[in-house]
Amino acid sequence: MDHPTQFAFQNGQMPQIELKGDASRLRQVVTNIVGNIHRYTPADSPVEISMGVLPASISPESLSRMPSNEQSLRHLVEAIEVGQSMQVGMNYAIVRFSDHGPGVPPEARSKIFERFYTADPSRARQKGGTGLGMAIAQSVVKAHHGFICASGSEGTGLTLTVVLPIAPVEPKPQPITASENRKNEKKNRKSKK
């Protein structure tokens, strides 16, 4: 449980990522997340959006069945570590939206994906929220065999992580060792005789 749930992103231009799926529905995921940030985060509060591609040793089907909680996020981080070290699995687009507003209490973070749930009903009424935005975002992400999760931002606030499959990892050719090279040379000499 102490395994970190952080991804390291470098400053710079966001990578160009192409996804197969329903473009208008995927756009709706981003719109709902950004709308919530706009609605519930103070105007002077910073927001970071990070994006990258990482391999993970988990199938899209298994990923989409995971519950939207921080324990699942830790499981994903472990699958990414295996995917990176072994160059196996599926490449995933990972998009993180981190705000530094009031945040959501840890015990309520997975609940924000339930229909009509609002962490603070009085604020939702004031701001015009219905409690459907994150439920819709989760439904769309899961329909695309992906994963979405809410976790705490560094300091205060909320981070929403969206993970969507791109394509299987292409195995990298392994360098031929000196002993394998000698074996191949012997085979080649035998076959020429």
Residue 152 belongs to a domain with what CATH number? Answer: 3.30.565.10
Element (H, E) at 50: strand 47-56
Say yes or no to pLDDT of 1 above 50: no
Number of structural domains the chain divides into: 1
156 found inside a domain: yes
Judge whether residue 5 has pLDDT over 50: no
pLDDT of residue 95: 95
The domain of 126 spans 23-169
pLDDT tens digits for range 125-173: 455 566 789 999 999 999 999 999 999 998 889 999 999 999 999 877 6
Q: What is the mean pLDDT of residues 30-47?
A: 90
Say what the pTM is: 0.78
Higher pLDDT, 92 or 130: 92
pLDDT exceeds cutoff 70 at 28: yes
- 192, part of any domain: no
The dihedral of CA 135, 137, 140, 142: what is its sign?
negative
Q: Is residue 57 part of a domain?
A: yes
